[in-house]
Amino acid sequence: MDLFEYQGKQFFRQYEIPTVAGGVATTVEQAVEVADDIGYPVAVKAQVQVGGRGKAGGIAVVNSAEEAREAAERILGMDIKSHTVNTLWIEKGADIDKEFYVSYTLDRSAKEDLGMLSREGGVEIETVADEDPDAIARIHINPVDGLTIEAAQDWVERAQLGVSADVQKQVTELIMQLYDAYIQGDAELAEINPLVVTNSGDVVALDAKVSLDEAAAVRHPEWENYEKPPILDERERMANDLGLQYVGLDGTVGVMANGAGLAMSTLDTVSQVGGAPANFLDIGGGAKADLVANALNVINSDDKVKSVFINIFGGITRGEEVAAGIVEGMSRVDLRVPVIVRLDGTNAEEGRIILDEAINADRFDGKLIRENTMLDAANRAVGIAEGKE
């Protein structure tokens, strides 16, 4: 469950993490009223669950009611990466001296929590990782032991924030509080970007990005107060109605895989060979005909898609069952573009025979293609999507 910024700050305040005073508005009049109550200057901030809102013009610092009205009129209804702005967060303007970045998430490969602290805040952490990786101090935390004050102090020192001893102490206290929020609040991600030092020397969370583990909802009845965001992407709306795990992206290669990990690897492989994935779609452990048909219909509804890459690894579900489901599912869809299938795992050879029989019989007018490896399939899908085949 991803929270809006204002909800993330409500979440932070439960753990005594300092934030800036503010209020929510869904209309222009409400925005002006909240701004007047807070006192100028204020920041008018679009509430969307996507990055880059500042670059898109979704954040404005204003100094009067007239400016607040103009900003609210402009930002409400704005489209930011296919997300429509329906809610604003109006908060007191901050006199910023320095900006940092801090976050916690799970490093699955290390089986430990991963903390990242950077002296370069206010920009996307991916950009910092590419351009100045030494600016990020990392720490791995055994969740059984937790984050000790000694480890936190060492982590802050390694980050070389360039602040006074008093500010460094405040940062250390805040990252301890953020870790408590991450653990006790059952968060999958707790991120502050930027974490700011004001001109008066206070350390404050100026933004909040929080993703909660929905599997832990039984322990958190208070989560019912968090508004679930509307599904604004028509592809995602369709997938949600069909019970599919789908996230729309902006590329031209449709992706379908059985398992979230394999789906993510497939997206990475498509990108590595120079393509752009159009979506993330996890069809779960199997590939029954109904499921394949529903998934293909969702991908097929995206006009930008030029090819579809189905990447299946048979585990408990046997390869011949998966292949039969793919063939039957494809027969129920009016396909616009070629479908490239890679099938491996249990009884993969039997499954490949079924796919080859359908290909040799030209059941899908040449739109069914089989490749043996994930890399070959990705290259083929990208080549078709880019018009090279």
Q: Phi and psi for 224 in degrees, rounded to 5? A: -60, -20
Q: Do the beta carbons of residue 235 and residue 274 sit within 8 Å?
A: no
The per-type count for the chain, helices as H runs and strands as E runs, is 12, 18
Task: Show pLDDT as tens, one digit a residue, over the chain (389 residues).
Answer: 889 999 999 999 999 999 998 999 999 999 999 999 999 999 999 999 887 788 899 999 999 999 999 999 999 999 988 788 999 999 999 899 999 999 999 998 889 999 999 998 887 888 888 888 888 999 999 999 999 999 999 999 999 999 999 999 999 999 999 999 999 999 999 999 999 999 999 999 999 999 999 888 889 888 877 765 555 567 888 887 888 888 888 899 999 998 888 899 999 999 999 999 999 998 876 667 888 899 999 999 999 999 999 999 877 778 888 899 899 989 998 889 999 999 998 899 999 999 999 999 999 999 999 999 999 999 999 999 999 87
Tell me which of 15, 101, 104, 246 is the catalytic residue.
101
The whole-number pLDDT of residue 228 equals 57
Of 179, 171, 176, 181, which Cα lies nearest the Cα of 203?
171
Q: CA–CA separation, 307 vs 252, rounded Å?
A: 7
The domain spans of the chain are: 21-92, 96-225, 234-385
The whole-number pLDDT of residue 40 equals 96
Q: CA–CA separation, 120 vs 159, rounded Å?
A: 10
Catalytic status, residue 101: yes
Q: CA–CA separation, 259 vs 14, rounded Å?
A: 35
The whole-number pLDDT of residue 72 equals 97
Q: How many CB atoms lie within 10 A of CB 109?
A: 7
Whether the model pTM is above 0.75: no
Q: CA–CA separation, 18 vs 25, rounded Å?
A: 21
The whole-number pLDDT of residue 7 equals 93
Q: Which two tokens stand for residue 306?
A: 């030029």
The whole-number pLDDT of residue 279 equals 94
Q: Where are the alpha helices (DSSP H) in 95-161?
A: 125-131, 149-159
Domain covering 96-225 in this structure, CATH number = 3.30.470.20
Ramachandran quadrant class, 388 (left: phi over 0; alpha: psi -120 to 50; beta: rest):
alpha
Beta bridge partners of 254: 308
Q: CA–CA separation, 241 vs 153, rounded Å?
A: 48
If you write DSSP's letter for every residue of 43-54 in order, what string do you get? EEEE--SSS-TT
- Which residue in this structure is represented by tokens 């489209």? 79
Query: How many residues does the structure list for the chain?
Result: 389
Domain covering 21-92 in this structure, CATH number = 3.30.1490.20
Residue type, 294: N
Catalytic status, residue 6: no
Q: Which two tokens stand for residue 59?
A: 């954040």
**Hey, is 362 helix, strand or coil?**
coil
Tell me which of 191, 320, 321, 371 is the catalytic residue.
191
Domain covering 234-385 in this structure, CATH number = 3.40.50.261
Q: CA–CA separation, 339 vs 324, rounded Å?
A: 15
